[in-house]
Amino acid sequence: MNASNIFTLPNEICSGRKEISHDVKETLSLLKQFYDVPIVKYIDFREVYSEHIITNDDANIREELLKYQQRCKEEKLYIFEDTFFESVSSNTEHRIRFYAQYPIYSNNNTVIGLLVMADLAPKTLIGSQKDQFISFAQLLQTQLNRDNDPANSINKKSSEKSNKETKYIHVFSLAPVAFLIALVLCAFTALLLYTIEKKELKSNYNLKTQELRKTLFNALERFDNQGLYISQKDLVVAGFIQSQKEYTKEQLNNLVQNQASENLNYKGYVVFDYQYNQLALWSKNNFDLAAYGFKGWLTKFDLRANKKSVEVFTVADTAFLISEIKLKNNSIYTLTAFDLSKFLKAIIGKLNTQNYNIFIVTPQFTLSKQGEVNSRVITNSISAVSSRFPPTWRLHVQPINKILTPTITKYSLFRLGLIALAVFAFVYYFLRLPRRLHNEIKDKNQLILNREKLFSSSLDALPHGFAIFNSHEFPVITNDVFNKLFSQVNKQNNQLSYSQLISIAQQHNIINHYKEHNKLENDHNQLIDIGFTDGRWITVVQRHTDFGGFVCYFRDETSAHQKELLLADVLEKSKQSNQLKEKFVTRLSQQLKAPLSSLKSIIEIAQKPMSASDFKGHIGNINTASEQLECVIQQLVNVNKSKTGKLKLKANKINLNKMLSNSASILNKDSNIKNVIANSSEKAVAVISDEKLISQLVIQLSTELLESSYKSQLTIDSDIVKEDQRSYLNLNFSISNLTTSNNFLAQLKLISQQSAINFNDDIDATLDIKFFISIFKMLGGKAISFNERGKTTSICLSLLVNVTSINEVSDITPIKNNVEPIMSNKFKSKSLLLVDDEPLVEMVIRAMLKNENLNVDYASSAIEAMLMVSQNDYDIILMDIVMPELSGTDAMLKIKKHSNDKHTKIIAHTSDEQSNSSAKYVELGFDDMLEKPVKQDILINKIRKIIQTQD
């Protein structure tokens, strides 16, 4: 027997419950509209006010909602986002990708129900949106607690009924009461008519939305059909294999070519047996399937946990579709490579998409009919997952003309105002209501007031500025962040238009940067950058509306802007540093060329029979060339040692006249005339210091002076000055007619005006000047002075030294009795230099050559490779072409220009799919070319062939 047959609630109680149920429905509708979700639900544990709005009536969805509700047992806020469902849902075909739940409490703090919302598409709630969801739950809680105790409500209604006749207050004749009642009903009528008209506009909006979904379904059907069409050829191949007891590989190849070559989208097609042996292969010209490493994909395909009949992988704009065809005793596998751009065009070509754009979105790229695009261009679109392709692939349909939210026109508002005014006049003159009816109308309007309060609090919860301006650019709605942003401007007048705000802020130096970016025609969005003098950087998105006004989002991008400026400064400094390094390496390579050439000539002469006296003379020449090399190589060793702590002095006795003479010899080696003259002192003087570092200072400063002049002579001399019981070595440089400005000399002159000892290595200076000053400070540098008289420029470097006497030392080095013969080349291990900016390539090449008798060195950039070539002899250089600082082609030309070792073979190592690419690189100057990714047998055979040629 039902309880309704025993006890029936009074009409007043039923009416109150209907009113609360209506409010609950309205709150759920508002929640659904606010978050744009298809599923909202209130679960009442008392089974009185349970309501739900689910646009997709599916039993599976209701079962999933029940499962998530059972998992959320604690009384707190639950938000499950997309990534959570992979581990929670045991059903592989789950559809809910977002779920949120919050408990509803009664007045005595007990849980009486749950507020739930869910979505079939992935969704993420930021901090303010979570707070807004809780605000909806509190609004629903307030509505429900009006009838929290039905028993008390019955007693209350009964007592009110008994005294109803005595408690009527007749105030119908009072003008203020009639005015207020008429005003409330006028507002209610206007709101009702506004809602009806808005529903009509909403229906038009829904019609456009349905057309958009229909286009998505049609495109998805085409998408699946194209995928099915690609897979049909596998059935033909399977039928052929099953129908033939015996067949040849040539027959299967012909069948594959006939099936695959007919489709213009295909790039290649391969058939494998269950042991991954290739049965048939078809490929277009210049398309190498092996370069993509599809064998590894087949292994991964066979070992996958969730097996399906088809898997798809992508590399660039090429898709690889791997299928498994099960036969009677075993299986065969097919791999189809096809062009995704042509695949998408085939879908669009059979579909009426003149009002829509179609996109294929994968984790690796986003593809449109124009080619690959940035994923940010896909806005205001809907998407779906294909049944023929992986779930990570989505098909997006975007309307060319954005589907705008319906808005009420000014004419409609004027018409509604007239109707409301007529209602107001009718009610004011003819309707009389008791105070009880007035309070009920006020309670019904409380939901509207709560919505307005919720809207204001939601705007104030936004972390960035927000403002709506009317057609006259005056603010209509603003939030707290916007008011604080322009608080200094609005102190005197808060009724300023947008243009006046910006203009006054610029006049008072509050804003120092304002730039409007160019926008396309018919584009309603305007991007503006605003820079404040206090360091804040604001990006404004100004969105113009149909009513003539606009909405502005003021987003604080200060942190990102500062990082962008810092990155730009770092990149500019890096660019300048790389240019200076290249110049530094080129100059030192030229200085190395002369002594190395001399040593080679001496070695060739020494290999021939000669007398003992001639041999002693050649030993003296070798000693001189070695001293020159030590001075120059020291610069290469310390090129990156910019800090003083990394340099160590090696004090020894220095013959000043001999040191300056050697430095001048190095600088004059490549010139037919003497550009550098070292004036020798009449009295031989010796000091104790680091000879290599002093020579390095002399060579570096002399080179900079010579590069800034044209056919001018540089004079270098030295003298000893005593000051405060200390001895200082003055190195004097004098040159005339400096013709060009030099950054090195300009910075050195600026430093000379201060104290060089207090020079900070962290200031914004070039690598050369930091290196120079660091050595100067290590040598006990006291001062650097510049003096300009007429056309002559003089520079003096003052260094702290110890003066000592010179002991005559013979320049001839004693000859050892036992001279070891030079080892023949065929007993030496060969050396290879790998140049590539990708460290992974080093690991691969070393692994390929681990069993070969090769010493493999690695350089991560072209400049590092040039430094290593200047210090070592390599038989083979494996050179990458595309590198950030300097290309491999430029590095090859520089190495061949400045190296005297002609037997070194430089091989281009790059990924170039063009035909006859090897001949192209040989014409550029390379000795050979290897294409990435290189195979081990090809690499080893190429290297062995080169080594045999060199021997």
pLDDT one-digit tens code per residue, 433-486: 455 455 565 666 665 666 667 677 777 777 788 888 888 888 888 888 888 888
Tracing tokens 């975007």 back to the chain, one arrives at 398
pLDDT of residue 906: 93
pLDDT of residue 84: 55
Report strand pairing: 676-678 vs 652-655: unpaired
Which domain-ending residue is among 399, 431, 466?
A: 399
Residue 423 · residue 181 · CB < 8 Å: no
In this structure, of 520-529, 534-543, 796-805, the range with the lowest mean pLDDT score is: 520-529
Same domain, 734 and 640: yes
As a residue count, the chain comes to 951
pLDDT one-digit tens code per residue, 675-704: 788 887 766 778 888 787 788 788 888 888
For residues 281 and 253, what is the distance between their CA atoms, to the nearest angstrom? 6
pLDDT at 166 exceeding the cut of 50: no
Same domain, 633 and 771: yes
pLDDT of residue 256: 80
Split into its structural domains, the chain has a count of 4
Which domain-ending residue is among 146, 163, 188?
A: 146
Mean pLDDT over residues 785-793, rounded? 87
Q: Could you tell me if residue 435 is inside a domain? A: no
Whether omega before 475 lies within 30 degrees of 0, making that bond cis, reads no
3-state secondary structure of 508: coil
Same domain, 110 and 142: yes
Report strand pairing: 331-339 vs 475-478: unpaired
Helical (H) or strand (E) element with 336: strand 331-339
For residues 654 and 805, what is the distance between their CA atoms, to the nearest angstrom? 10
* Predicted confidence band of residue 308 (pLDDT cuts 50, 70, 90): low
How does DSSP assign 286-306, residue by residue? T--GGGGTHHHHHHHHHH-SS
Mean pLDDT of the chain: 76
Q: Could you tell me if residue 734 is inside a domain? A: yes
Give the angle 801-806-811 at the CA atoms, nearest 5°. Answer: 115
Mean pLDDT over residues 304-321, rounded? 66
Report strand pairing: 830-835 vs 854-859: parallel
3-state secondary structure of 54: strand
Report the CATH number at residue 116.
3.30.450.40
* Predicted confidence band of residue 5 (pLDDT cuts 50, 70, 90): very low
pLDDT at 834 exceeding the cut of 90: yes
pLDDT of residue 439: 56
Same domain, 880 and 781: no
Range of the domain at 66: 16-146
pLDDT at 549 exceeding the cut of 70: yes
Q: Could you tell me if residue 391 is inside a domain? A: yes
Same domain, 124 and 260: no
Which tokens hold the place of 220? 């998805």
* Predicted confidence band of residue 147 (pLDDT cuts 50, 70, 90): low
HEC string for 758-814: HCCCCCCCCHHHHHHHHHHHHCCEEEEEEEEECCEEEEEEEEEEEEECCCCCCCCCC
pLDDT at 800 exceeding the cut of 80: yes
Which tokens hold the place of 232? 């049909």
Report the CATH number at residue 665.
3.30.565.10
For residues 704 and 743, what is the distance between their CA atoms, to the nearest angstrom? 9
With CA atoms as reference, report the closest residue to 832 among 860, 895, 874.
874
Q: Could you tell me if residue 324 is inside a domain? A: yes
Same domain, 795 and 833: no
Which tokens hold the place of 562? 């500062």
Same domain, 642 and 761: yes
pLDDT at 877 exceeding the cut of 90: yes
Q: Could you tell me if residue 565 is inside a domain? A: no
Mean pLDDT over residues 830-842, rounded? 85
How does DSSP assign 194-233, residue by residue? HHHHHHHHHHHHHHHHHHHHHHHHHHHHHHHHHHHHHHHH
Q: Residues near 940 by Cβ (< 8 Å), separated by ≥ 6? A: 848, 849, 852
Q: Label residues 598-628 b or e (16+ Cβ within 10 Å = b).
A: bbeeeeeeeeeeeeeeeeeeebeebeebebb
Same domain, 26 and 76: yes
Enter the pTM of the model: 0.28
Q: Could you tell me if residue 280 is inside a domain? A: yes
pLDDT at 428 exceeding the cut of 60: yes
pLDDT one-digit tens code per residue, 199-224: 888 888 888 888 888 888 888 887 77
Mean pLDDT over residues 328-332, rounded? 76
For residues 715 and 790, what is the distance between their CA atoms, to the nearest angstrom? 17
For residues 745 and 757, what is the distance between their CA atoms, to the nearest angstrom? 18
Mean pLDDT over residues 85-100, rounded? 67
The packing angle between helices 767-778 and 691-707, to 10°, is 140
Report strand pairing: 382-385 vs 928-931: unpaired
Same domain, 225 and 140: no
For residues 189 and 419, what is the distance between their CA atoms, to the nearest angstrom? 8
pLDDT of residue 538: 92
Q: Could you tell me if residue 525 is inside a domain? A: no
Q: Residues near 893 by Cβ (< 8 Å), separated by ≥ 6? A: 925
In this structure, of 128-142, 570-584, 650-664, the range with the lowest mean pLDDT score is: 570-584
Which domain-ending residue is among 399, 418, 446?
A: 399
Whole-number Cα distances in Å, 682 to 340, 662, 685: 83, 17, 9
Report the CATH number at residue 940.
3.40.50.2300
pLDDT of residue 150: 47
pLDDT at 22 exceeding the cut of 70: yes
Residue 74 · residue 154 · CB < 8 Å: no
Q: Could you tell me if residue 464 is inside a domain? A: no
Same domain, 799 and 839: no
Same domain, 854 and 762: no
How does DSSP assign 690-740, residue by residue? -HHHHHHHHHHHHHHHHHTBSS--EEEEEEEEEETTEEEEEEEEEEE-B-S
Same domain, 797 and 860: no
* Predicted confidence band of residue 876 (pLDDT cuts 50, 70, 90): very high
Whole-number Cα distances in Å, 753 to 485, 749, 786, 787: 46, 7, 9, 12
